Amino acid sequence: MDIQTIGIVGAGQMGNGIAHVMALAGYDVMLTDISEEALKAAVALVEGNMARQVGRGKISEADMTAAMGRIATTTTLTDLGPSDLIIEAATERETVKQAIFEDLLPHIKPETILTSNTSSISITRLASRTDRPERFMGFHFMNPVPVMQLVELIRGIATNEETFSACKAVVDKLGKTAASAEDFPAFIVNRILMPMINEAVYTLYEGVGNVQSIDSSMKLGANHPMGPLELADFIGLDTCLAIMNVLHDGLADTKYRPCPLLTKYVEAGWLGRKTQRGFYDYRGDVPVPTR
């Protein structure tokens, strides 16, 4: 299948990044969100990020102008009906995702491929609630989308080879690398990354080290570009907790038990950078550890 038009559900951090790379690669993009303000903010953010790419010589002014012209927005979900490929990038709650696909189904073409950018939810289970489980798969971008080179392609139990090949061709056109993953909780990246972050929170919880010493140790001792607690704040502590719960529930192994301190931060609404407080306080000029 030759994919030309791409519908993206959700104009948040992931959705606007996906719109950015798809438009630059030459695809016509329809971005939808329930909030007109979110759509305006997303387009402004994409434009600003592309302008920085122009400034760094990564793309030309002409590339940026053409790409921005390929992005349309709508608050009406069913306007995505004519899309060849739809990527759902809404909040990481299964009931929300199911409702989106349910609303889309009567309006899309028989050949349309449905995908989810979920970081942990079962693709097989999401697909089973649609009329096309063979044309459904996981299309998981890494954050920030324009920078990160990996895309996880996750097959549900029913996903056919044609669907996988079509999605792989899109990843190739983006100039990114596809990693094929099987449909088990959290797939590859988060299956490995989130337990490391959770263990860092346990290390803090048990008093082995403070925020600064834990992050400095991993940056200088393991050559990580960001410390695990700094990274958790960047991802969002609510997202980290949600993925740990998926791992714990889905694999029934106590090694995936979310740290009580992670739960406490989420209960406090200290979710990281997006709320200005997490393991660091971002309200001043320089982030300050909160423990």
| pLDDT bracket for residue 192 (50, 70, 90) | very high
When pLDDT is cut at 50, 70 and 90, the band that residue 21 belongs to is very high
From start to end of the chain, where are the E strands? Answer: 5-9, 28-32, 71-74, 85-88, 113-116, 136-141, 150-155, 177-182, 280-281, 288-289
pLDDT at res. 213: 98
The per-residue pLDDT for 159 is 98
Would the annotation count 119 as a binding residue? yes
pLDDT at residue 1 above 80? no
pLDDT at 67: 98
* Domain residue ranges in the chain: 5-182, 189-289
Q: What is the structure's pLDDT at 162?
A: 97
End-to-end CA distance of the chain: 53
Is 250 labelled as part of a ligand binding site? no
Average pLDDT over residues 26-53: 97
Share of the chain above pLDDT 70, in %: 100
pLDDT at 73: 98
User: Is 226 annotated as ligand-binding?
Assistant: no
Whether 11 has a binding-site annotation, put simply, is yes
User: Is 119 labeled as catalytic in the residue annotation?
Assistant: yes
Residue 15, annotated as binding a ligand = yes
Global pTM value: 0.91
pLDDT digits (tens, 9 = 90+) for 56-100: 999 999 999 999 999 999 999 999 999 999 999 998 889 999 999
Going by pLDDT thresholds of 50, 70 and 90, the confidence category of residue 286 is very high
State yes or no: 276 annotated in a binding site. Answer: no
When pLDDT is averaged across residues 176-194 and rounded to a whole number, the result is: 96
**Domain 189-289 part of CATH 1.10.1040.10:** yes
- Report the pLDDT value the prediction gives residue 212, as an integer from 0 to 100: 98
Could you tell me if 135 and 113 are in contact, meaning their C-beta atoms sit under 8 angstroms apart?
yes
Per-residue model confidence (pLDDT) at position 200? 98
The answer to the question of whether 217 is labelled as a binding residue is no
Catalytic residue among 119, 120, 122, 198: 119
- Mean pLDDT across the stretch 96-111? 97
Predicted pLDDT at 93: 87
Q: Is it the case that residue 120 has pLDDT exceeding 90?
A: no
Q: What is the DSSP string of 192-260?
A: HHHHHHHHHHHHHHTTSS-HHHHHHHHHHHS--SS-HHHHHHHH-HHHHHHHHHHHHHHH--GGGPPPH
Per-residue pLDDT band for 172 (boundaries 50, 70, 90) equals very high
Helices 260-268 and 237-251: angle between axes, nearest 10 degrees: 140
CATH of 5-182, one of 3.40.50.300, 3.40.50.720, 1.10.1740.10, 3.40.50.12780: 3.40.50.720
d(CA 1, CA 118): 23
The pLDDT, as a whole number, for residue 180 is 97
For the segment 12-28, the average pLDDT, to the nearest whole number, is 97
Q: Is 68 buried (19+), middle (13-18) or exposed (0-12) by CB count in 10 A?
A: middle
Asked whether residue 168 is marked as a ligand-binding residue, the answer is: no
Residue of 16, 116, 152, 198 with catalytic role: 152
The stretch 208-219 carries a mean pLDDT of 98
- What was the pLDDT predicted at 125? 96
What confidence score (pLDDT) does residue 151 get? Answer: 98
Strand partners, 7: 30, 86
Catalytic residue among 83, 190, 198, 230: 190
Q: Which of 122, 140, 198, 230 is catalytic?
A: 140
190 tagged catalytic: yes
**Coil, helix or strand at residue 117:** coil
Cα 104 versus chain centre, distance: 20
To the question of whether residue 41 is assigned a binding role by annotation, the answer is no
Please give the average per-residue pLDDT across 205-232, as a whole number. Answer: 98
Residues 220-238: what's their mean pLDDT?
97
The pLDDT score that the predictor gives to residue 165 is 97
